[in-house]
Amino acid sequence: MGTGAFLIFMTVFVALWLSWNTLASQGAQFDPRALNFTLLTLILSLQASYAAPLILLAQNRQDDRDRVKFEQDRQRAERTLADTEYLTREVAALALSLDEVATKDFVRDEIRDAMKDLLEQLREDKKPSKKSK
């Protein structure tokens, strides 16, 4: 009932009905204009009496679909929030653990300092041996 094809069909149907019962000879008319198209009025009223409940049923079904969709969206949002919070905690934990991890520069500096200390010790060890000779 709510489609463009239905509206076009009803427009053509009513136009043909009115044309036939207005332009046809008195004997060929089945719903004369003189009686104000009583049969057409009855048919359209009957159609309207069925259309209103159908529209209400369609709205109720749409409300049910919207309610289900809203519930699914809410559950999806809760899962997304939980996932985001979990990932945030994981990233924070990784950041804390990375602070404790030695970087290349730190290790390089430590090795360089250790090598300097060893070289100084070697030089000091060599110096006393020269004095003793």
Give the pLDDT score at 81: 97
User: Stretch 7-28: mean pLDDT, rounded?
Assistant: 89
Identify the residue with better confidence: 89 or 48: 89
pLDDT cut 70: percent of the chain above it: 94
Reported pTM: 0.47
Each residue's pLDDT tens digit, 63-82: 999 999 999 999 999 999 99
Distance of CA 126 to the CA centre of its chain: 77
Domain boundaries, the chain: 102-133
Identify the residue with better confidence: 2 or 48: 48
* Residues near 131 by beta carbon (within 8 Å), at least 6 away in sequence: none
Both tokens assigned to 98: 């990375």
pLDDT at residue 118 is higher than 70: yes
Give the pLDDT score at 125: 86
Distance of CA 34 to the CA centre of its chain: 59
